[in-house]
Structure formats: C-alpha cells, structure tokens
Structure 1
C-alpha cells in the first residue's frame, strides 16, 4: 500500500488513475467521521465545555446528526473545489472553527451569536480582536492551529487522494444542493427538520443556537437574512395608511401645511449619542465617592427622569442610530441584522433629510473611522450634507485610545458658529468604548466600593471615569448655548449599556441581574438591560415633555413634537403609536400604563402592523408613500455636494 502511494505521488497529476471504489468508500467514511468530530469541536467551542456538549447531545441526538450532515456537506464542497482530501478537510476545519470561535466570544460579550450577515462586517469584525484574551481563547486558537497543521502535514505524507474532474463537479453539486436546501428550507429539508424536532427561535438567537447547534442555526439563518414581503402589503394598504395619517393632521397634505414651525429664529437641533453611556450609580451595592453624572442628574431632577429603550446591549451602535435617524424599528428585521451594512444602498428618508427640507443644514459627527458600519455611504443616502469622521479631526484631544468626548462637543460648537443656517447635528462619541479592563485613564477622579472582585471594581472604575467625562461634555454644550443665548434643542442619550465583563459579570456580581442567560431574565431585568438615560435641554419653548420610557425608534417623532414641528411619513405614524405603546422591542413592549409584555398588546396590534407595512414599503417595497405625502422629504435624493468642501459653504473639517 505504501509503495502504491509513493508511485502515485511520482506520477504527473494528469496520469493519476481515478480513485477505486474501495478508496471512495474509505474517503466517504473518513469525511463522515471528520464531520462528526468537527461538529463536536464546534459545539465545544461555542458552548464552552464538553459537559454542556454532552448534555445537549443527550437531549437532541437527531439535531446533532443534522449538524453533522451540514458539516459533511461543507466537507464535500471543499473536497470538490480543492480536489485534495486533506487540504479540503483543513479548509473546512479552519472555516468552522473560526466561525465557532467568533460566535463563542460574541455571545459572551454582547449576547448574540455569529450570524451569516456578520460576514459582511469586514473590518468591523476586527473590533472584537482585542477582547479575545485569556486561557479560553488561547486553548481554542491552539486547538485550531494544531488540527489544521496536522492535516497539512498528513497531506505531505499521504498524498492528494484526488477525484476526477467529473467526480469533483459531482461533489460540488451534491454538497451545494444539500446546503442550499437547508438554507432555504426545501420540502425534503423541512421534513427532516420537523422529524428532528427543530424549532427556530428567531426572536431569541442565543437560545436558537443553543437548542439547534451552531451549524444548523447558522444555516437556517441564511433565509432570515432575506426580507420577504409581509402579508397584506400593496398600494391599497399604503393608501389606507397615508389616508389615516393625513386625516390625523386635519387633511393637510402639502409640505407647507405639514409643518408648524416654532416661532422666531429656528433652534439648532443637536442629537448626541454617547458611546455606551449609562448610569453606573444604578448598580446595587456600589458606592461612589462623588456623583459621576451631576449634569444628567440635574436635568433629570428638573425635567423628570426618562430612559430610552434600546434594541442593543454592549454593541451594535449603528442599529440604534438606524432607529433614531429613520424612525424604523429593527424589531421588524431579522434578529441580529445590521441595516447599515445590509439594507441601505439608496436614498432613505431620515431626520437628516427631513431637517434639510425645512431649511436646516444636516451634519453628522463621529470621532471614529468613517468606514465603520458603512457610515460614509449610509449618511449620504440619509440626506446628510456633511460627515466629519476621525480623519477630519485636526490634532484632537485623546483620552485613552479614542478621541475625547470633549473634542466632539467642541466640534459641534464650531459647526454651529460657522453656519448661517440652523443646523441639525447628529453626533456619536467614542471615548468610553469598551473593553474597560484596561488602565486607560491612570488615576481616576472617583473611588468606588462594594462587595465584588478587584477586577470588577477596576472595570467599573474605568467605565465610570468615561461616563463622568461624557457628562462633562454635555455640560460644555449647555454652557455654550446658555452663554451665547443661541436657540438650541439638545437630545443626549446612550446607545446601549456597557459590556462590563464576560457573561454580564459585573451586573451579576452587583445583583443588577441574576443570570448570565438572557432567556432566564424576567421582563423587568430585560427592561433594565435595555434602558439608557435620556435627557433633553433647551432654551426655547417646547410643546411636549419626555415620557418616562420611549423606544429609540420613536425618539425622532418625539423631538419633532416637542419642537412644534408636525411630523410626516414614518415619523407621523410613530407619533400616533408611541403615546399608547412607548416601548417596542422584539421581545418586550411597554404600554402607556407601564405594563410590560413579551408580545404586542392587542389594542396596539393594528397600528404596529401599519408600522411594519410602512417600513417595508420605504425600505424594500415600491415606496408608494413617497407619492402620497410630502414628496420633498420622502422622495428626497442624496445631496450632490455631500462632504464636498468649498469656500462658500465650508463643510465639516
């Protein structure tokens, strides 16, 4: 046998004899065993221990074998494409291992596994690299390296075991047919899924991956990345929605009648979304030597405490931006999707285009790379006139690895001072981005105490210093407008709670939540983990006060209402919805009586369904609404001079 292999290796590739039947059977058996081994390895990587893998397999044998089948199809695909057995196995092992590793750390960091659409994140994915430390990471990475290196060495020793070109084509077709059938859930694949007892839980992907396994849950999510037309969508449905919205405004359908502008000089409207901003004094049993958020607490005492319900935890900033700026809800999109990356590639009505249509200059400021979350392109499609990203800051102040929040406030002030028109500015900070287990500030201003580990104290200490600086940056803005007596309306909030250690460690140590498993949280705990501080400041009369709770998708509608500007389009529908249902997430709703539920209340279901249809029409459908209401806003194109600098109208620098 050894002499036969040596003889085969000496022959030119074109003269190699085809694989015999016995060799084909042996290779199939090897691939089958490799699929089982890789499936076990993937589950070990994603679940954290073999004990958990064994427990899952004992209750889900059929589902385990479906995962192994998908892994087998991938091995066949790699074998057909590469044409050499062991390199194909090494490639498949590398792909599956890296995907599993990403899913493991992504779940521990922000409670979400690895999705098919995460592949589109490209450079954004590298943001997780500094967080992948510790023995768990090193052991997993070491295993991946050993397995791949071992297979490569075996290839050198044993040869190619190459099928014919026709055989390779057959392998590719069979494998592709199998993978596509499960991804798009063909009749025969659905039959197997039902027989195995597979239940997709798209509203709770952590549980979905836990019950169904990494390979199967990942594959089934491919279909979820495709947006299907909702039942009832059509021009007649949008006609009906438009008629109801027009009627609610007293029949005023023109742009002039849609807007009841504030009297006097138009105020500057400034939204500041502060990175991971939250109130650390809410942690039970933790004491602080001084109030880290004096400005926030003063505004809360003056105007009433309010929180914004966010769809994210620990990351996914752009999804919160998407909700605030567009008035759309990620609750109607596939769980874990990233609209900035997946869905926005043409003009989309937003607060930026709305204010532009009302005589404002709409500007965006973010103290990080413009390519991140595809903002360079998305802000153009949203109708912003200019976007100042990290590369446009000149000799900025840094705190830690990122531009200081105070520098963002100074940038906002400069834009206000040099503009002859009122400005709408959407600013996103970066200073207090995690992780917080570093010593970025050295000596901090506030001492903390409580019954927790030293590591937890250090994490809270670093985070709290950043939160204090964010509070001070808000005070800088307020002080400027008070001194200049320049009319302004400021909205300040966080995008999500900070990721304070793996598996919600600090939150659990302090008793803020009881479990690291999101499916075990009560509705109150879920609310707490999705609520960030929301404050406003203004020196002009307002026509609405902040509700106690409001979802990020409704924030734009509220701001327009407070300013006395009649909302249109999706913002008009939101203005109808949020008074009765101020909180709307995928798995949590809060009604006007502060009643929590995991589903949409019956009394709000009709309006929520209108919301879903309208969002589909404007994002994916035929955009019927643009021809029925305020065309200047809804049908507005991207500005031709987006981010172009000239002497007449200086753009962001």
Structure 2
C-alpha cells in the first residue's frame, strides 16, 4: 500500500473508500487486480480444504475458542500498554510510514483504530485554558520575537493568495540526476529574491488534504488521529475556524479553486464549513488540458484566479490547489518526447529515470503557471501577496529508500508581493504556522489559531498549550472562544463563480437543444428530474435526444460518482 500511494493503510481509510476508488485506475493496473483476485481465490480454497481435513468436532463456534479470543485480546491490550509505557512501541505521529516500519503493521493498524477515541489532553479544563489565554495576553501584540516575519502595519488590505502545489519539489536536489534545463526557473527566481524557505508537511508522497487542513486551519496534525482525513471526520460535520472565516470577518471574499473533482475528500461540504464563499472545481472550468496520465494541467487555474479577482468589489482571499504533478509516476518509457531530458547514475535505475523524466516535465509546466501568476500579480493595481508551497514531496521511487538523503517531509515555500513588505527572510516553519506568517506580512488580524502560533511559539510550553487549545476549539467546551469574532462561521458556499442558467428549450424532431449560460462538459440535462445523455456543444448550448413528454428541464453539475454539486434554474415546458 505504501508503494502504491506513499502512505500506509489506516483505519481512517474506511472513510475515504469512495475517494480512493475514484482514482484507483491511476495507481492499479489489470495485472495487480488479477494478482489480488488469484491470491484471494487460492486463500479461500486452502482455507476450505484445511477446514474439511480437520476432523475435530469442536469448531470456531465453540465457547473455548471465544474464551481464547477474549484472552488474546486482553493479553494484547495489557502487553501493548506496557510496551508503549517503556517506549518499545512508540507511534510517530509526524511520520506514519516510519511508525509502521518501527511498530509493525498489525499493531499500527489497530492503534489507528484505537486512536479514533478522542482523548482530552492531560490537564485540560477551564482553568488551564484561562491560564494559557492569560499567557497570550501578556505577550506584546507586535512583538518581533513571536513570528519569523515582522508584522506589517498598513491601512491597505492586500489580496491574499495561497497556491498549494501538488507534489512540488526542486528535483535538482537529487544528486544522481542531471537535467538538460532547470525545470523550475520561476520558483527558483522567486525563492532567491523574496522571503522563502522550507516547511514541514504532515505527510509525504500523498495525503494532500492533511497539509491543506493544517494550512487552512492552523491545527497541528500531530494532535489529530494518525492518517485521518479531517474533511471527512471533522469539517464535514461542523463549522471550523479557518483562514477563510477569519478573513471574511475582515471584509474579504473567500474563494477556493481546484482543477480536480469538487466532491473529492468531501471538499464541497467541508469547505463550506470552513467559511468559503465560492468553490471553483474542475466541473465549473472550461478548456482543461490533461497530462499523459489524465490529471488536469495547472495552466487553466490562472484564468479562474483572474475571474475571481475581477468579479468582486471586496478584497479577495484566493486558495488554489493544483493537480498536475500528482503521482503515480510512470515506471516505463511512455514514448513521448518532452523538453526536459534527464540522465541518472547509480544507484538510480532506468525506472527512476522514467519517473523523473515525466515528473520534471510536469513540474516545468506547473512552474510556468507560477510565472504567469507572478506576472498577473505584478499587473494588478491592488496590493496582493501570494504564497506558493508544496503539499508534500512526490511519491517517487527514490524516496522509498530509507537511507535517501533528502528530508521526506521538508517542502519548499516562497512568498511574493507586489508591494514592499520591508523584509526578506529565510523561513523554516510547520505547515500549521504558514497562515500566521502570511497574515503577519499582510497586516491582517489573527484568528484564534494564528494568535496561538504568533504569541506562544517561543514559549517552552508551546506544543502542550497548542494541543490543549486545539482540542478546546475543535472538540472541547470552547472555553477559549470569548467573542463572536473568534466563533467559526459556516459559509453559504456556491459552486462555481457564476450561475449556470437555462434560458430556452428548443425541441426539433429527435433533438432537443438547451440554451443558457456557463455550461461546461460536466453539465448534464435533467428532464422531469431524470438524467439524460447530454452532448456539450459550447458554454451556451447543450443537446439531448428528445423525450416524448417534457414537463421540466434543468441542468445539473455532476461530480464524482454522479453526485450533484449544483443545479440550474428549472424551466417548465407548457
């Protein structure tokens, strides 16, 4: 499992089965499926054979076996507790892969299930939270020692952008690989001339939503359940403070843009609970180009960033999630000529070369998108600041070697602004601290979690206090929330930037033409609330085969597994 997706199997994956199945074809081929099926059949046949050969009349249903199972469970629990106390078994929350290697697969999976019981941090109560708040209030609000960057005081509110780069890294750091050209010249120039550095991501090789959740909410994944997808387990159920809800209270319009399925990771529900106003997923985009492995290319994103900015009178928060550099990377030569060539030397193999060749050329195109975004920011009349950061390191085979010299959780980050921030710093931070640093540079007011990172980061009890405050805000009594300013707000999020509307239905013979606005290739016509096979003509025209009795016609945007993301107005046919 780790080799396939870069992450081991956990109990949390039960909640993401549908998401996993929707992209399984990008990781699993027909030979793997045949192998698994054959293994299951052989296993069942062997089990049946041994069962029939067994002459003992006492079977699994006997009380003896039930008692033995209970005894084994008790012994396992007691011994595991003892081993944990002596640090012989020790879950490494920040590195699941290493934790599984260290503790073993069976224990690790069972521990991921046991961890689903949310536990109060030691000493958590109202008095502890009040004491932490008093310590925070004692720190000068503009202290230069609390964040890596200095607080910018400005009457102008800049537009604030986060650009989350899928599996982005500097491939030239791999010493055994030589590239015919620099795959990331724009990001390199950005890093050299502006505030930049490294960020510690809570995942590697996969698990985008974990880094995304840390950046958006300021919560430390170490104090959540190992392997969980917080969108599925937390944000889908309730409103949570985020950069979106915090900035909306300061007059910002919050938009998130992603060139992948809108309901993957339950984003269409979770992002609403994080306070976003608009979500532009691939179902609402035109002109998407695909990679050889069928991931959406990133260059389409700039157009929707531009449209988002132009469609509002407020200042904008824009959070972009790219997809182009997503794994799994091909181990065989695809027979495609691409501009960036690569040569490797031992211990890298031909398989590594093929992966790096494909990956470097996808990086090159993502880097071109970065360059276009910087150019767009430069041309804007409004003050704008943007942070580019990787969600995790790529799932390349070279990272599977335990002795590989690059840090598997350390990812690049760079900040650009079209106004003078008065500083250029080298960053070394955690993903959950990133929004605090950007708010600092933008002169924005901190939310509850940003305030903790800004004021307590240098305190000796920082992590202990962070765990208690995070628990209090997410799962506890919310003793730390004093005013409406700190309360999370649920958004009224719309899918897409503009309404999809039906203006006219024209039935001629066997073909019915639907005229309207803002249709995409994911638009599907419904007649009498029943789905019809739809032909996309352009953004104003759809066609279906005529239906004998038409009472109502509408157009719906469908996501993964035909889930409805939004619906147009309904036209009644007279």
TM-score, structure 1 length as denominator?
A: 0.67
Distance 1:417 1:610, change over 3 A: same
Gaps spanning 5+ residues in structure 1: where? 1-104, 252-258, 506-515, 581-603
Post-superposition shift, 1:359? 0.4
Give the alignment of 1:375-414 within 5 angstroms.
375-400=267-292, 401-414=294-307
Cα deviation, residue 176, structure 1: 8.1
Deviating more after overlay: 314-323 vs 408-417: 408-417
Task: Please point out which of 283, 291, 306 is paired with 2:197.
Answer: 306
- Root mean square deviation, CA, Å: 3.7
1:119 corresponds in structure 2 to: 14
Residue by residue, what CA displacement relative to the aligned partner does 1:423-454 show, whole Å, maximum 9, x if unpaired? 10111011111112166792211112231422
Work out whether 1:631 is the aligned partner of 2:452. Answer: no
| 1:123 Cα deviation from its structure 2 partner | 1.9
Alignment check: 8 A CA contact 2:186 2:371 kept: yes
Q: C-alpha distance in 1, partners of 2:388/2:519?
A: 21
SS of corresponding position for 1:548: strand
Q: What number of residue pairs does the alignment pair up?
A: 488
The secondary structure found in structure 2 opposite 1:323 is helix
Are 2:202 and 1:317 aligned?
no
Contact 1:399–1:440 (Cα < 8 Å) also in 2: no
Q: Which has the higher contact order (CA 8 A, sep 6+)?
A: 2
Q: 1:450 aligned to 2:344?
A: yes
Q: 1:191–1:639: structure 2 CA closer, same or farther, 3 Å change rule?
A: closer
Q: What is the alpha-carbon distance in structure 2 between the residues aligned to residue 432 and residue 171 of structure 1?
A: 55
Aligned to 2:38: 142
> Conserved in 1, the CA contact under 8 Å of 2:208 and 2:392?
yes
Measured against aligned partners, the alpha-carbon deviations of 1:531-573 in whole angstroms (never above 9, x if no partner) come to: 2221111112325544331211110000010112232411011
Deviations 1:579-627 (A, max 9, x none): x5xxxxxxxxxxxxxxxxxxxxxxx541221111111111111111112
- 1:479 corresponds to: 375
Give 1:433's match in structure 2, choosing from 312, 326, 330.
326
Cα gap change, 1:409 to 1:172, in 2 (>3 Å): farther
Cα separation, 1, equivalents of 2:204 and 2:378: 34
Once the two structures are TM-superposed, the CA of residue 107 in structure 1 deviates from its matched residue by 5.3
Which of the pair is proportionally richer in helix?
1
Cα distance in 1 for partners of 2:413, 2:198 equals 5
* Structure 2 CA distance for partners of 1:178 and 1:388, relative to 1, 3 Å: farther
C-alpha displacement at 1:119, in angstroms?
Answer: 1.5
Note the alpha carbon deviations across 1:98-136, whole angstroms, 9 max, x for none: xxxxxxx225652x4211222111123334554345988
Residues 645, 413 of structure 1: alpha-carbon distance in 2 compared, 3 angstrom cutoff? closer
1:222 matched residue in structure 2: 113
Deviations 1:314-369 (A, max 9, x none): 00100100110111111222333332222332111110101111100111111111
Residues 11-57 of structure 1, C-alpha deviations (whole Å, 9 max, x = no match): xxxxxxxxxxxxxxxxxxxxxxxxxxxxxxxxxxxxxxxxxxxxxxx
| Alignment partner, residue 415 of structure 1 | 308
2:205 and 2:394 in contact (8 A); partners too: yes
TM-score norm. by structure 2 comes to 0.75
2:130 is equivalent to residue 239 of structure 1: yes
**What is the CA distance between 1:207 and its match in structure 2?**
5.4
Q: How does 1:353-368 map to 2 (within 5 A)?
A: 353-368=245-260
CA shift for structure 1 position 497? 0.9
Instruction: Work out whether 1:620 is the aligned partner of 2:483.
Output: no
| CA spacing shift, 1:174–1:367, aligned 2, 3 Å | farther
> For residues 225 and 171 of structure 1, do their structure 2 counterparts lie closer, same or farther at Cα, with a shift above 3 Å needed?
farther
Give the distance between the partners of 1:618 and 1:153, measured in 2 at CA: 55
Which residue of the partner structure matches residue 609 of structure 1?
464
The one-character-per-residue Cα deviations of 1:203-223 (angstroms, maximum 9, x if unpaired) are 165455446543343223322
Q: Are the aligned partners of 2:83 and 2:89 in contact in 1 as well (CA < 8 Å)? A: no
Please identify, of 206-215 and 231-240, the stretch whose mean Cα deviation from structure 2 is larger: 206-215
Residue-by-residue CA offset, 1:395-442 (whole Å, 9 max, x unaligned):
423333122101012111111111111110111011111112166792
Among 195, 200, 222, the residue aligned to 1:331 = 222
Q: Following TM superposition, by how much is the alpha carbon of 1:381 offset from its aligned partner in structure 2, in angstroms?
A: 1.2
Change (3 A) 1:283 1:334: same
The equivalent position to 1:555 in structure 2, one of 407, 429, 434, is 434
Unaligned segments of structure 2, at least 5 residues: 143-150, 501-516, 521-574
Would you tell me which structure has more strand in proportion to its own residues?
2
